[in-house]
Every structure is written in C-alpha cells, then in structure tokens.
Amino acid sequence: MDTYSPTDRTQVRRLPKRGVYDKAQIHAILDEGFICHAGFVVDGQPYVIPTGYARSGDQIYIHGSAASRMLRALADGIELCVTVTLVDGFVLARSAFHHSMNYRSVVVLGHARLVTDPEEKLAALRCFTNHILPGRWDEVRQPAEQELKSTTVLALPLDEVSAKVRTGGPIDDEDDYALPVWAGVVPIERQLGEPVPDVRLLPGVAAFDKRRFTRFRRK
C-alpha cells in the first residue's frame, strides 16, 4: 500500500484537509528531521523527551544509554507517542488571530520493541550514523563490544501514523484585506556554518565538505 490507514487515534480531525497519510510524504518528513519528541507516562507522570531517531523502512529507531530510564520504561512495552515537526515559515496575517506557521509534522503511536538481534542492532546504529551524515558509518571506527552492550536500541513500527501539513499564505477575514498591513510568508531555511576542525585532528586529514549534508541544500 502507498498510504497508511488512519485509525481512530491518528485520524486528523482538526482541519482534516491538512491530514496526510501518504507513505512517501510521511517518510520524507521523517527523513528530513533529526530530533523527535517521545511522550510516555510512568507511574502517572507524563514525560516528553527530545531524542535522536532514524527511519528504516516502516519503522523508526531510537537509542541511548542502557541506563536510560526512558528506554528502560519503553522497552517494557508502555504506550509511546513520537512526534517530529519541521517548521517551514512564519505566516503573517493582517490580524493577530490569523497568524500561523507553515509546518510538516508526523505523529506515531504504538509500542516500542527492544532490539536484541545483534545484526539488527548494528544495522540500526549504522542507520543513526548515516541519518546524520550519509556515508559516515564506513569512514569511522565501528562500535566495540562494550559500546554495543551499553547502548539500547528500540524500534517503533509505523503502524499508527499520520502527518499534518500547512502550506500557503495567511487566510484573513474578508474585511481585513482592506487593512494597510503587510501580510505573507517568511520562509525558514536551515543553513550550515563553516566546519570547525577538532583541535586534535591529525595533520593531512582532508578538510570536511559540508555539502555532504544534502538535506541542507536549498531546494
């Protein structure tokens, strides 16, 4: 299937025309982002924790220290909500009420699975590394056995998932179009600064080409 089937929990109800269930669009949003927010409840206390993630097919991986309270709780199978949001522009209207933002967001609901298979765990860590910088995994030292033991990896299937997207300019009340106030969209673009070499970089190591971060190129 080319789309995810919305459930009662993932159906976009507020402004449903902005709801997106197309797999390609949802994957594109997840692949462009770097940070997700993981929401869960432990002993009646809600938590929302920002963390890195990476997508592989129809699942996303999150990882961290084996001592992480969040990962230990999620590995026990409690309910999990993961969100990813990309802000594309500020929408300036002629009235305060109609100011908005253009954005792309994804919400994933479900239960995380502890990754115990060594090959899958290594593949997930490769996915994390290359999600930050394509091809980086093959350039660096691979994880040692103790590093693998001290790292927990969880997989969350993209079973219950939907996206919500806003594009376009402000939507003002008809009478407000006569106001002499600037209105429109101010785009937000992510940019990379110049790479700063580590102080202990070995002599002769080639300069880093920041163009390798392909997701930062202007479309």
pLDDT tens track for 171-198: 999 999 999 999 999 999 988 999 999 9
In a domain? residue 203: no
Provide the residue type at 191 as one letter. Answer: Q
User: Per-residue confidence at 218, pLDDT binned at 50, 70, 90?
Assistant: very low
Q: How far is CA 25 from CA 21, 154, 183, in A?
A: 8, 23, 28
In a domain? residue 182: no
Name residues whose C-beta falls within 8 Å of residue 91's C-beta, 6 or more positions apart in sequence: 99, 100, 101, 102, 166, 169, 170, 185
For every residue of 158-181, which 3-state class applies, written as one string? CCEEEEEEECCCCCCCHHHHHCCC
Number of structural domains the chain divides into: 1
In a domain? residue 107: yes
In a domain? residue 132: yes
In a domain? residue 103: yes
Predicted TM-score (pTM) above 0.75: yes
Residue keyed to tokens 């992510």: 190
Provide the residue type at 78 as one letter. Answer: I
User: Residue 181's pLDDT is what?
Assistant: 97
Q: What is the domain extent for residue 140?
A: 16-89+99-168
In a domain? residue 59: yes
In a domain? residue 213: no
pLDDT tens track for 67-120: 898 999 999 999 999 999 999 999 999 999 999 999 999 999 999 999 999 999
In a domain? residue 22: yes
Element (H, E) at 46: strand 45-52
Q: What is the CATH number of the domain that holds 158?
A: 2.30.110.10
